[in-house]
Structure 1
């Protein structure tokens, strides 16, 4: 392990010159020379003999006296090491001196290994003797490091250094690296250090986790744990072996995260509810990846967070106006969390989809209705660029996918689209086309066929109006007003109530002329006039000057009455117009009690009563030449909303009935559970088993189906 390498590396002695041993000199004398040289080396002194001469002695004697040479070396090493042991034992802090002796000993052994090179090579071939390296390391391990006086102190002092480092006290990193390098070189790293290090690390992080989880804010706690992990990773780079570093990291994750998992998640999501946590979510995610079932627990909390927050949005009283915007903002928020902090993990994307589908549809039809209204408002808006609209439409389509009652959405979308088209309120045809394309892509062409038919009717009506105007010119028909008539296919458009109101004579004549023209060109078609959908520009003269009033047809009918009378009672207006009472009250309120009061209500009271008296407000002023009068009657009432929902529910019943009959007509006979299962598979509307059972019972009463006499759970189609 290169990071723990000691000074005990082999260095060759270059340019060795071989000396001839004089023949008359005896072996004992030669060995004494060698012994003196080795003693000098072990005492860090320059030997009297050159290294080349000592090498030559070994070369000449190794084949016949190898055992003697190794025994002599072992004895000298033991003497030197015992002196080292005695010196180290006397010290209070033993490691610094021990490391100093170790590094010096390693340097000495490098020299001796080069002298004994011939012996070592022969020993490696025979395996009879240990090499100098093996011999010296075994002796240092046995006599010094593993001695009773030293062993425990080595462990204790190394662990003290690491504990100081964990407490941010500066230590001599080189000393620590050399100490663990020594243990590794002597192959006692695991015995002396690894196990005890993990034990004290376990206690350290267990205590620190228990202390800090309650003391620190969870954001600070997560950052602290992350810092601890980085510290332990740095220790692997600096001095720990890989298996030790891996084990201590597991301890950190277990004692600082897993042991306090619920408390960490509780505190984290409390801050998330308050929108006061951000980057720490990513830290939490990465920490939990390393903890058994950590991400599963995070998924549970994330699901609960989305469900609780989502239910809070859709169930909050009086939240209709901002519900969709809040849902879109919340969707953006959880998407950022999932993509930025949870690494776009598919499990969390699925949780978002599942949770949104659940809480949105817990509210039944309301979100579908409000989503249609939200889109209507955006398509009417004049302050949005095309790019901004495209972004908004893309986001609302995500919510649309979650809504199960798409037929409810369709019904309200068509009602709002009708108003945009008939009142000319759509500000961007490209955006309208884009929305239709998105709906068609999501639900298929059948879903948008009627919507596309509505646009087609408007385009065709433009051609009809141009032809009609040419017809009037050609026939020299007098026309003091510029009228535009939309001819709508009833099956495409929402159902509207028909009002039999008293129109101004000029308009009655105009209608008759158009009816004749249209019938001549489109035989077999019947026109039904929807006066409640009309709107007009009425020219009016006040004391302050002339104005143009942008009003509904009902408002127009009322205003024109005051060309013939200065004052009229509610009862008189009702008789003259034949407008339904509630509708007339809304109309008069918009003209006499709202922001732009072109009529005067001459009796006190905020509400419109049957005895009220009205006249023209000749003092009316306005900054603009064209004044828009709030068209209160065009705002969808609660009753109209309920009527729309009721119509959709009736359509659902027809779909269910048709599906039941179609299945049994094909299958002839079917068990109740099998029939319910097939219905759930083919119906794309939100239904409950109870609703299906109820429709089956009604079809039995109407004799489309019958129960099996022997087994009432089986149904048979009645031909």
Structure 2
């Protein structure tokens, strides 16, 4: 192969004054020949005329025109250093690449000296230009290999570099237009799989920061909802609703939301409680319904749905019993959505809670119209009773309290009426869930106080006494020590101080004395006295989780017996595999082995005598 050699050329310009001629001059009537006499004139030709003595006119010479002077710049134009050598070297490399059929080497640092969005625009422009050139100047058969060569050189060789440098900033900035350009260009070179993997990696990495940050647990659900909404927008606008990309988003979300076992399920239940609780000002029913739909998407990704059910049921019970629900229609709508997702067995207890509330309303109406209520009830007291079915509602600790005589009479009369209507049942009063409205007289007017049952019992003691000590109140009410301290703290140390404590202080100590605050004032007629709520301690959450695990053990035992009853004989490996397929919550193989051992001890199963890895079902 021979390469062209570099030649040096030069050019010279010479001028000869003897050969130069003066320029032609232009007049009004035409061109005039050059003349050494500037004042010379030319006579016009006579025109034919009837008159013989017409005077001849002299032609006037034009004014001399300005000369155009061009000055040559004697300085040579400046070129970059080693311009000729560099250009010649690039030309040789290009020719050598053509002869050897090898790609021309690129400097990647120079290729990515600007950011990825600009580079993608550059590639898009180059492809458009080549396509236009093919249509206008080149044979049609050349178009396909030429465009393919451009795609290979500008895109296919740099897929990973483009993704590594530019994908995360584009996703963080929600730059849907640039992401759509990337998706379109990558589809030309069959690189969508690389883009899909980059999307999966981005979701898992970003989502892990949200889920694993324990300090921001309070905002976790809202952050996940915002993150999911932004991904849906990118999927619709940039990735053309590609089904594979949609499945990638779902799989990645399911992975990240279950990184912390049980905790996300608990937080989603509490988030729903916050939205469904009364007091969310400025939230319309349409916005609430939209929020429920979005939360339901996160719920689908949760593996431990029984944990969600336990916490959701506990919060729902508080909303129903205390009348704190923002909308009964919204509550029923959420139950209906959960039923559609998980089946009737999942929502059976939740639906039973609503039935109890509705049935209690009918029972109270019947009680008010009964003969016992009309003849035996003390005057001045109205009482409404919720009758709860034990299996539907969360378990509450029984707390004794010495009720005032009027309330005891009311309870006895209602119990007599209920048992006469529903024989064979047993009523057990849950005093910790009761709440009352008391009428109180102060020096500046009467007020209504919305209080808990324990607060009402304490306040009614001051109808007969001006000042009482902590020990006196404890003996008179029979309320448990910690509960009584919280109750007195809410009445004497909170925002609404109906009682006065001596000595002053935020905590209730032994020996403290209390009296009725007759000078209490407030702008509203009805005042809510908030109880000092116990923050959910680690022990309480642990007890709820333990109850969930206890229920799981029953489900595991039932699944093992169901499988073995069908198969009769099964190996340990196959039994574990079928259990993983049937159980809908995460479980470890070690826990399954413990349940199998428990069933063997209770003689539901036995190990095969010849092979201990095989189990036999005992009828």
Check whether the contact 2:499–2:515 (CA below 8 A) recurs between aligned residues. Answer: yes
Match of residue 156, structure 2, among 258, 279, 287: 258
1:569 and 2:469 are equivalent in the alignment: yes
Match of residue 709, structure 1, among 603, 606, 609: 609
Query: For residues 308 and 485 of structure 1, do their structure 2 counterparts lie closer, same or farther at Cα, with a shift above 3 Å needed?
Result: same
Query: For residues 344 and 273 of structure 1, do their structure 2 counterparts lie closer, same or farther at Cα, with a shift above 3 Å needed?
Result: closer
Q: Which residue of 1 aligns with 2:523?
A: 623
CA–CA distance in structure 2, aligned partners of residues 564 and 209 of structure 1: 91
What is the SS of the residue equivalent to 2:217?
Answer: coil
Q: Which residue of 2 aligns with 1:314?
A: 211
Query: For residues 318 and 210 of structure 1, do their structure 2 counterparts lie closer, same or farther at Cα, with a shift above 3 Å needed?
Result: closer
**What does residue range 142-181 of structure 1 map to in structure 2 within 5 Å?**
none
What is the SS of the residue equivalent to 1:359?
Answer: helix
User: Which has the larger helix fraction?
Assistant: 1
CA–CA distance in structure 2, aligned partners of residues 716 and 429 of structure 1: 51
CA–CA distance in structure 1, aligned partners of residues 606 and 179 of structure 2: 59
- CA RMSD, aligned part only? 2.6
Check whether the contact 1:504–1:557 (CA below 8 A) recurs between aligned residues. Answer: yes
Check whether the contact 2:276–2:327 (CA below 8 A) recurs between aligned residues. Answer: yes
Query: For residues 278 and 545 of structure 1, do their structure 2 counterparts lie closer, same or farther at Cα, with a shift above 3 Å needed?
Result: farther
After TM superposition, give the deviation of residue 468 of structure 1 in Å. 1.1
Match of residue 465, structure 1, among 342, 346, 364: 364
Check whether the contact 2:376–2:413 (CA below 8 A) recurs between aligned residues. Answer: no
Structure 2 segments unaligned to the other structure (5+ residues): 1-10, 12-94
Match of residue 567, structure 2, among 642, 662, 667: 667
CA–CA distance in structure 2, aligned partners of residues 247 and 632 of structure 1: 78
Q: Deviations over 1:572-601 (max 9, x none)?
A: 333322222222233233333333333333
Check whether the contact 2:493–2:505 (CA below 8 A) recurs between aligned residues. Answer: no
Query: For residues 386 and 576 of structure 1, do their structure 2 counterparts lie closer, same or farther at Cα, with a shift above 3 Å needed?
Result: same
What is the SS of the residue equivalent to 1:255?
Answer: helix
CA–CA distance in structure 2, aligned partners of residues 441 and 208 of structure 1: 58
What is the SS of the residue equivalent to 1:320?
Answer: helix
Q: Which residue of 1 aligns with 2:588?
A: 688
Check whether the contact 2:378–2:410 (CA below 8 A) recurs between aligned residues. Answer: no
Query: For residues 541 and 707 of structure 1, do their structure 2 counterparts lie closer, same or farther at Cα, with a shift above 3 Å needed?
Result: same
Check whether the contact 1:503–1:577 (CA below 8 A) recurs between aligned residues. Answer: yes
Check whether the contact 1:499–1:532 (CA below 8 A) recurs between aligned residues. Answer: yes
Q: Deviations over 1:32-54 (max 9, x none)?
A: xxxxxxxxxxxxxxxxxxxxxxx
1:433 and 2:332 are equivalent in the alignment: yes
Check whether the contact 1:550–1:627 (CA below 8 A) recurs between aligned residues. Answer: yes
Query: For residues 251 and 529 of structure 1, do their structure 2 counterparts lie closer, same or farther at Cα, with a shift above 3 Å needed?
Result: same
CA–CA distance in structure 1, aligned partners of residues 158 and 584 of structure 2: 45
TM-score by length of 2: 0.79
Check whether the contact 2:468–2:515 (CA below 8 A) recurs between aligned residues. Answer: yes
Q: Which residue of 1 aligns with 2:199?
A: 302
CA–CA distance in structure 1, aligned partners of residues 446 and 374 of structure 2: 33
**What does residue range 488-637 of structure 1 map to in structure 2 within 5 Å?**
488-633=388-533, 636-637=536-537
Q: Which residue of 1 aligns with 2:225?
A: 328
Match of residue 308, structure 2, among 399, 406, 409: 409
After TM superposition, give the deviation of residue 359 of structure 1 in Å. 1.5
Check whether the contact 2:115–2:166 (CA below 8 A) recurs between aligned residues. Answer: no
Match of residue 477, structure 1, among 360, 373, 377: 377
Q: Deviations over 1:212-265 (max 9, x none)?
A: 41x212222222322222222332333234443333433333333333333322
After TM superposition, give the deviation of residue 273 of structure 1 in Å. 6.3
CA–CA distance in structure 2, aligned partners of residues 197 and 401 of structure 1: 60
CA–CA distance in structure 2, aligned partners of residues 630 and 270 of structure 1: 48
Check whether the contact 1:583–1:633 (CA below 8 A) recurs between aligned residues. Answer: no
Q: Which residue of 2 aligns with 1:154?
A: none
Check whether the contact 2:377–2:413 (CA below 8 A) recurs between aligned residues. Answer: no
1:227 and 2:125 are equivalent in the alignment: yes
Q: Which residue of 2 aligns with 1:275?
A: 173
CA–CA distance in structure 2, aligned partners of residues 241 and 625 of structure 1: 91
Structure 1 segments unaligned to the other structure (5+ residues): 1-91, 93-192
What is the SS of the residue equivalent to 1:447?
Answer: helix
Query: For residues 603 and 281 of structure 1, do their structure 2 counterparts lie closer, same or farther at Cα, with a shift above 3 Å needed?
Result: farther
Check whether the contact 1:657–1:699 (CA below 8 A) recurs between aligned residues. Answer: yes
CA–CA distance in structure 2, aligned partners of residues 638 and 504 of structure 1: 35
What is the SS of the residue equivalent to 1:398?
Answer: helix
